[in-house]
Structure 1
């Protein structure tokens, strides 16, 4: 009924099956007055009348699934704890209605909303000189050269023209003089109030400035003497207001992610499950379907590009416990501060693809992200991974202008190939190379985005080969886990060789794990590929004291084995790290491989390109190479004579 997931995982299919069977949250869950209603065939035109008849404000047809409608209340969202109310019971009995599912309310939080004090291009804009993440000359105690290298892309003529980025957040001040010219009203919508005007709701503390600040990072107009400059300052920005309500629902998330996918190119999300170090949560059934539809059908079949902030839980959390950031369908972005160090709030995980920038040293008040603020104001105090995701969306907009034919997977490959270590450094996790020589870091992914490098490679980029997925093997037996001992399991696989879904060159790898423990937060999980690349799938989370739920078919994901040959033996190591003795049981480990059968690029070209990008004096090196070749030829000729 909801369609198929072309790139779906076993987890996603299981969730959809559960939905079809009518399963839902427990009786203790918080339910809203929002309903998912499926009508019988031929009665779509009655949806609005039906909604009003049963006490709702109206009905909105959902762009995914068949004959699905969102029945929403007349007034501000309210909640209830009983699963059935009188109007829903009456609605279920109506002959026009096939199915009714109440929408559970759950928590979603804005990321990186904090005070900075607590944590060769000429532009006329007053804050441009303070936007160190665009061009870092060492201002605000930063490290010169540590930036997004947007100047190179701008000089090549790419500024994001023709690309629309949607900011899924608490609204956008679209009247702001630094945003108004680039605001895309057609692509904007308010899913909190169900109208086309996503203006932020006023609060005394300006709490709802989050989306406006993110929008300015992407699309603030250049050379207008107002605030600063967006990364893609000629791009269009759309506002999708969906965060400002007591509880999130699956319908609102799915509707936001699937809003106008033929107009919107990039969706930027600086929010997710609570970053408290003890929450394990991700997208529900409808949102999974909407994301699958987005990558399969969005942008005329090239796929919607979803950019996600990796999380602000710091060393207490692990972004592989966030099902949005760790999804294969999103590009998860972490942040670095202006001297290349990790921010205290950065979460690390093996699903992070790359990094951009947040704030800087605590002692410097001008080291935050300079951007637009509510009511026509400007700010220097935006920060967190909230600031990092929109910067990445801006860089991707530059690449899309350079090559509008890029698919969602092309963008991920470009991210892996052109991101670079630069001067990023983490005291805990060292930089390493995987089996094909790609350099990565457990916290920073493949490095900081390089706009100039990405645009150069994007211009002549050829679409990557078709993607396949292979269930490489599964361990279903019960295995005990004890403190002081490490459980080691192996799966040997041919990666479905000889079958239609053979995977030879890896993109994403998922370890779908079912495990429980006397203290979930003390669990650690590592996985090593046949080519010797070790991925930390789960780090210790000291605030997570769960002893009941554990992880149920949770898809831990790694991008660290990108490009590797998956054939051979994979090793999973599960143990406990903590002061008190713990015990647990692993019930399942299923290995899922995702990638291509033919090489998306030649290995040597990859290495050559990365080495060239790292060289600051490229022309000199080329001259030296020519001279060396000439000397060698002369030497050979003299010896032959």
Structure 2
């Protein structure tokens, strides 16, 4: 006998409920699989709207599920496609009930249930993240448009990959969205809404609100979907989830408060402007893996893509535009080497992303193994040519290990924190098998009367210090953090063993106070050295002078190039002179104007997501 998880819907009730936990340390539990925490921030902390649906586990097969639906007055709708033994039930109006929850509990076979919430999903940009080659001459981020070699390069180094004959053929990229305009000319033949087992890459440009006060992560179903995707998808090699890291910079948001983009299973992508600068909307985040180009200041060029109304636009903006570019680069790598696992892809991005095009920005540091990292950009600008070249002869990374270490409980008043104070918590790791770190999660429990005043830092045994949480002026919540994982990739490649230092501080002059609860570290990585690290530290070359193939020479001479690639070749290169050293003096004024607009809520354009 199996247990079945299904969704039931009540069409005869319009109840709207708000959830407010009375104790921030309750309603939390471990979720099976890699020591994942599941707490009260899983999508209901700021939820104001609920729909009449439940996910329910019952003991029995499909026939039993149908009988349960019949007894409760629900309509059986079949399994939700990604989950094993998961069924959909929707209720028709059959008899009134003051409390629909009680009707569910009337059946003894019901094992558990939870209300399904409608979550506010904000698109990380104002347009849909879709690509259209008809505007090739405007796609400055895909081709080297320099007329003078000494000017900085502005592209993602894609043309050399085309010249080698790789165009992503056969790789399925799905946009995680609600299906808007699925009959668009450029989409209708490739739009696969449900067949997750046939998708290689998911690109998501939505998430919890970037309002600078929300803390929200995947709920139970979304967490299980992620885990199933990386363990079962692509014949066990794992689906690659690419996630926009958010547009909340104007609200001083931090994407470590977004449990989707900060998940270890996602490739979190930030943005850089045409001038290689951190955009006004960008969020700092220790979990950001890499960066792609997008919009910047008002006069900077934006991204070309398809648009609603069966049209095209040159105005795609935000991290919504950056994430699909990253997904496209990953598709090129999977065309070159279909055997790459989801972890291989993350290693490739870390090992090939470029520091030089973004080096004018503050915050860059070198970690304990020589990798350059910035909480604004991750490991740098994605380099399609370098990534695909490395993928061609890639050796699969070794088996992953997970270590979870609890900090020694704080005694007496050691865990108390007030405005103007700092608490340091040492965590000593002695016997973890991980010699080469991938992700680190600091799982925190904090009661505090104003969560947004908190800052959290983590220092590794090799001396890499990274800010996991920055202050958020708009976060006035007193809910604190409950089993909330703050993720960092800054220590990638380092050894896990030694003394880690956690610093939690409130440097405001307010009258805040609270208490620090249990703290633990979850380290993900390998015991054996990955093959690409055996040749020594990463070598950084001058990105501006890397070899650039002539597109036509590469296509015509390369026998691996198929007819479709030649047919879609551009007729000519753009010769527009982009003098990036001569930044318009009005840019700073435009940035200030945009920040003022964002503070007044004028540029947020919400759209529904999953």
2:383 aligned partner: 450
TM-score (ref. length: structure 1): 0.73
SS at match of 1:350: coil
- Displacement of 1:100 after TM fit? 4.2
> 383-392 vs 85-94, which deviates more?
85-94
Distance in structure 2 (CA, Å) of the matches to 1:467 and 1:562: 13
Aligned pairs (5 A) from 1:440-589: 440-477=373-410, 479-496=415-432, 502-546=433-477, 548-589=478-519
- Displacement of 1:105 after TM fit? 2.7
Alignment pair present for 1:134 and 2:142: yes
- Displacement of 1:343 after TM fit? 1.1
2:176 aligned partner: 168
Distance in structure 1 (CA, Å) of the matches to 2:506 and 2:324: 36
Alignment pair present for 1:416 and 2:424: no
Distance in structure 2 (CA, Å) of the matches to 1:85 and 1:150: 60
2:162 aligned partner: 154
1:402 aligned partner: 336
Alignment pair present for 1:111 and 2:124: yes
1:279 aligned partner: 214
Residues 35 and 72 of structure 1 are in contact (CA less than 8 Å); yes or no, is this contact kept in structure 2?
no
Superposed CA deviations along residues 390-449 of structure 1, whole A, max 9, x for unmatched, are 11111111001111111010000001001111321565x421110000011111000011
2:562 aligned partner: none
The structure carrying a bigger helix percent of its residues is: 1
Superposed CA deviations along residues 436-494 of structure 1, whole A, max 9, x for unmatched, are 00011111000011111110000111110000011134232251123333211211112
Distance in structure 1 (CA, Å) of the matches to 2:110 and 2:515: 44
Distance in structure 1 (CA, Å) of the matches to 2:460 and 2:381: 25
Superposed CA deviations along residues 317-364 of structure 1, whole A, max 9, x for unmatched, are 100011111110111000111110111111011000001121144125
Distance in structure 1 (CA, Å) of the matches to 2:223 and 2:4: 11
> 582-591 vs 530-539, which deviates more?
582-591
Alignment pair present for 1:303 and 2:233: no
1:325 aligned partner: 261
1:373 aligned partner: 307
Distance in structure 1 (CA, Å) of the matches to 2:240 and 2:334: 10
Residues 472 and 495 of structure 1 are in contact (CA less than 8 Å); yes or no, is this contact kept in structure 2?
no
Distance in structure 2 (CA, Å) of the matches to 1:379 and 1:307: 23
* Distance of aligned partners of 1:522 and 1:473 in 2 relative to their CA distance in 1, 3 Å threshold: same
* Distance of aligned partners of 1:97 and 1:489 in 2 relative to their CA distance in 1, 3 Å threshold: closer
Superposed CA deviations along residues 65-86 of structure 1, whole A, max 9, x for unmatched, are 66432224679xxxxxx9x756
Number of residues of Structure 1 aligned to a counterpart in Structure 2: 512
Residues 319 and 348 of structure 1 are in contact (CA less than 8 Å); yes or no, is this contact kept in structure 2?
yes
Residues 453 and 613 of structure 1 are in contact (CA less than 8 Å); yes or no, is this contact kept in structure 2?
no
SS at match of 1:11: strand
Aligned pairs (5 A) from 1:179-190: 179-180=187-188, 183-185=189-191, 187-189=192-194
Superposed CA deviations along residues 20-65 of structure 1, whole A, max 9, x for unmatched, are xxxx9699964312222334323x0465676577555542313566
Distance in structure 2 (CA, Å) of the matches to 1:312 and 1:606: 36
Superposed CA deviations along residues 133-180 of structure 1, whole A, max 9, x for unmatched, are 1124269xxx75222111111111111111111101132534333334
Residues 449 and 479 of structure 2 are in contact (CA less than 8 Å); yes or no, is this contact kept in structure 1?
no
Alignment pair present for 1:611 and 2:547: no
- Displacement of 1:381 after TM fit? 1.1
